[in-house]
Chains A and B, each alone.
Chain A
Amino acid sequence: MAEYWYFADGFEERVRGHLSSSSEAEVDLDFTIPEKDFNAAGKGSSELKNLLKRLGVDSDVLRWIAVASYEAEINVAAHSKGGLMKSAVHDDLIHVSFIDDGPGIADIEQAMIPGFSTADDLVRELGFGAGLGLPNIQKNSDAMHIVSERGNSTLLEFFIFFG
């Protein structure tokens, strides 16, 4: 089982604090992501963006969340057998997690290198699979966490604070 953590400067304590408090989300939004369905992929993050606009989330923060969730949603559609996108809005942050049905990431460190991609021809033909997904999610979030194992499901989650 491989695990990967990323924290933007100064965020490790805040994220760990949030996780240990195990506070319940104020608002939840769940979406199913079907395998290789690029017509539907993107709907979850677009709904999430609409929800956050209604909450009045600052436009820069909104863009980080929209980009990170869109990239992650496309990743699940392109590389896995499908999965679930779960967004949890708390008072001061959003926690979005993606749990798929496999087949797992063989080497997370390698997957984090910009330009590295295992996308198949179908995915590339549709204009995805440039190898920027994971680096982009990391760049736009305050913390990112991946748990994966070859042959098993992958969990990717990110945390973005509102202020």
Chain B
Amino acid sequence: MNRAESKYFHAIQILEDNCTGCTACVRVCPTEAIRVRDRKAYIDPYRCVDCGNCVTVCEFHAIIPASDPLDIINNYKYRLAIISSSFFGQFSEDISYANAKEAVLRLGFDEVAEEASVTDFMIKMIREYIRENREKRPILSSNCPAVVRLIQVKFPSLLPNLFHQEAPMSILTRFLREQICQKMGLKEEEVGIFLIVPCVAHVTAVHQPEGAYKHLQDGAFSTGMIYGKVREIIKDVQNHPSDIDTYPHGLTWALSGVQAELVDADDIRALSVNGIDNVMDILSRVEDHYLDQYDYIVLRSCTNGCVGGCLNVENPFVAMSRIKKMIKEGHSADADITDLETLYRKGEFQVSPLAPRPIMELDKDIKKAIQKMKKINEFLTMLPGLNCSACGSPSCYALAEDIVLGKATLDDCVVLKRKPTDIE
């Protein structure tokens, strides 16, 4: 998606030459953001939430995740990588957590930090926030950017329920940038901070953060790309390892269920939900106040949480099992969180309230919307009801809606087009 084309940037790119117009992506999109017209898929940037379903389902390499190339780190004097917690579940068990982390450092960074190092702080902050905001129930986790955008487009009435504080990698970015500048005597723009991320939603969030008061990171690299480069040099690291701190206990952040267990307490009831279809079902019930008995709901768009991200290389269940093993067997370095707590109490990690981006409404005026719905129903009775997507819209209903909104015509229906000749 060309950034100049729309006010919404997305880390998903369609390669027209590879697209066969098969409509597999159209059918898996949870917000019905994709249409195929003239045998090519295109994404409505307003509706897309960057869940990555289309990237995973495309067999023709026509929908590819756009992340940054590694050489952009050369534009900075000091380079810091922040690794997302799911990263360490990607490697086979002969490659240790510490070796994998050190290999990332040797790719050209001056320092490597881990999302997992602030997990304890996050859990503490989330619990405090839940206790201080008794009037809001349930509080919804805001770390998954795809979930945040899903709420903006399909469940805008739930925006006030979001946990209104920065996500761990953003907290680390703010904290470490300041620390590095002071320690090294560098200007802010001389320090490059990059995330290694498991999904396109996080790449999008780096380039277009929602609710952040300022642009935080300087780039995002896909786990898959970094994984490949780490594999190339891992033997050398294994033969000449050096001392490096790791935070296995914090890796829980990558696993949706385990995070909920950590927040759970005598006075806090937490629920964990993952997979975007489950997330939508739960959000719909939260809207109707059927889940008010929960204080906190961890919502992750991908299967099992961030280990299920589409930029990962390992199966989410295997990655989860490996991470659980690391948590059980490892010893975490002590992370000093007093400075972070001071910043939190000063309100440094607050995010601005998010604006709704409703996609469902047919019209701002309810009377006009009703008239449009009436027309949609009229077209719907003319359509075959096969929901075959051959027209390029996800269902017969969606085509009827597209026709009424002027984005398609009845001629787009492949089945109707054939009928008259059959009858003759």
Known contacts A62-B287, A67-B288, A89-B370; 12 further A-B pairs (Cβ under 8 A)? A26-B374, A49-B288, A53-B361, A55-B362, A56-B360, A57-B366, A63-B157, A63-B287, A63-B288, A63-B289, A70-B288, A91-B366
- Chain B, residue nearest A45 (CB): B288
Beta-carbon contacts under 8 Å, A96-124 to B = none
Does the CB pair B364–A67 fall under 8 Å?
no
| A54 in the interface (beta carbon within 8 A) | yes
Which chain B residue has the least Cβ–Cβ distance from A64? B288
Any A CB within 8 A of the CB of B419: no
Nearest neighbor of A90 in chain B, beta-carbon distance: B370
Q: Which residues of chain A from 52 to 77 have any CB-CB distance to chain B below 8 Å in the complex? A: 53-57, 59, 62-63, 66-67, 70
Mark A33-63 against chain B: 1 for CB-CB distance below 8 A, else 0: 0000000000000100111011111010011
- Contact A56–B361 (Cβ < 8 Å): yes
Residues of B within 8 A of A55 (CB): 361-362, 366, 369-370, 373
CB contacts under 8 Å to A, within B103-147, are: none
Shortest CB-to-CB span from A53 to chain B, Å, is: 4
Query: A25: shortest Cβ distance to chain B, in Å?
Result: 10
Tell me the nearest residue of chain A to B362, going by C-beta: A54
Chain A interfacial positions (CB closer than 8 Å to B): 26-27, 46, 49-51, 53-57, 59, 62-63, 66-67, 70, 89, 91, 162
Whether the pair B373, A54 counts as a contact (CB closer than 8 A) is: yes
Q: Please encode chain B, from 249 to 290, with 1 for each CB lying within 8 Å of some chain A CB and 0 for all others.
A: 000000000000000000000000000000000001001110
List residues of chain B with CB within 8 A of the CB of A91.
Answer: 366-367, 370
**Contact status of A59 and B157, CB under 8 A, knowing A27-B374, A54-B361, A54-B373:** yes
- B360→A53 contact, CB < 8 A: yes
Instruction: For B371, list chain A residues within 8 Å (CB).
Output: 26
> How many angstroms from the CA of A91 to the CA of B367 in the assembled complex?
6
Q: What 9 A-B pairs have minimum CB-CB distances, sorted nearest first?
A: A59-B157, A56-B361, A53-B360, A55-B369, A66-B288, A26-B370, A27-B373, A56-B369, A54-B360
Contacts of B365 in A (CB 8 A): 56
Q: What is the CA–CA distance of A105 and B367 in the complex, to the nearest angstrom? A: 37
- Chain B contacts with A in 156-198, Cβ cutoff 8 A: 156-157
Residues of chain B contacted by A49 (CB below 8 angstroms): 284, 288
Q: Give the distance in Å from the alpha carbon of A53 to the alpha carbon of B374 in the complex.
A: 15
| Residues of A close to B361: CB separation below 8 A | 53-56
Instruction: With both chains docked as a complex, state the minimum distance between the C-beta of B152 and any C-beta of chain A, in angstroms.
Output: 14
How far is it, in angstroms, between the C-alpha of A106 and the C-alpha of B423 when the chains are bound? 56
CB A96 to nearest CB in B, in angstroms, measures 15
In the assembled complex, B377 has its CB within 8 A of some CB on chain A: yes
Q: Are B364 and A56 in contact (CB under 8 A)?
A: yes
Give residues in B with beta carbon < 8 Å to A.
Answer: 156-157, 284, 287-289, 358, 360-367, 369-371, 373-374, 377
Taking CB atoms, residues of chain A closer than 8 Å to B156 are: 59
Residues from chain A with Cβ under 8 Å of B284 in the complex: 46, 49
Q: Give the chain B neighbours of A51 by CB distance below 8 A.
A: 373
When distances are taken between beta carbons in the complex, the residues of chain A under 8 Å from B370 are 26-27, 55, 89, 91
- Are the CB atoms of A56 and B288 closer together than 8 Å? no
CB atoms of A66 and B287 under 8 A apart: yes
Closest-CB distance, B374 to chain A (whole angstroms): 6
Q: Residues of B contacting A56 with CB < 8 Å?
A: 358, 360-366, 369
* Assembled-state Cα–Cα distance A46/B288 (Å): 11
How many angstroms between the C-alpha atoms of A63 and B156 in the bound complex? 13
CB neighbours (8 Å) of B363 from chain A are 56
How many Å lie between the Cα of A70 and that of B284 in the bound state? 12
Which chain A residues lie closer than 8 Å to B288 at the CB level? 49, 63, 66-67, 70
Minimal beta-carbon separation of B394 from chain A (angstroms): 14
Nearest CB in chain A: distance from B322 CB, A: 36
CB distance from B357 to the nearest CB of A (A): 14
Given A56-B361, A57-B366, are A67 and B373 also a contact pair (CB < 8 Å)? no
Contact B289–A27 (Cβ < 8 Å): no
Distance of A119 from chain B, by nearest CB (Å):
18
Instruction: Name the CB-closest residue of A to B365.
Output: A56
**CA–CA, A70 and B289, complex, Å:** 12
| Residues from chain B with Cβ under 8 Å of A70 in the complex | 288
Query: Closest residue to B356 on the A side, CB-wise?
Result: A59
A-B contact pairs, 20 of them (CB 8 A): A26-B370, A27-B370, A49-B284, A50-B360, A54-B362, A55-B361, A55-B362, A55-B369, A56-B358, A56-B363, A56-B365, A56-B366, A59-B156, A59-B157, A62-B287, A66-B287, A66-B288, A67-B288, A89-B370, A91-B370
A162 adjacent to B360 (CB under 8 Å): no
Chain A residues with CB under 8 A of B374: 26-27
**Minimum CB–CB distance for A75 against chain B, Å:** 16
Q: Using Cβ atoms and an 8 Å threshold, which residues of chain A touch B367?
A: 91
CA distance A54 to B377 in the complex (A): 13
Residues of A within 8 A of B373 (CB): 26-27, 51, 54-55, 89
Nearest residue, chain B, Cβ from A163: B366
Q: Which residues of B contact A59 (CB under 8 A)?
A: 156-157, 287
A53 to B377, CA, bound (A): 16
How far apart are the CA atoms of A63 and B370 in the complex, in Å?
19
| Complex interface: chain B residues within 8 A of A63 (CB) | 157, 287-289
Closest chain-A Cβ to B140's Cβ sits at a distance in Å of 15
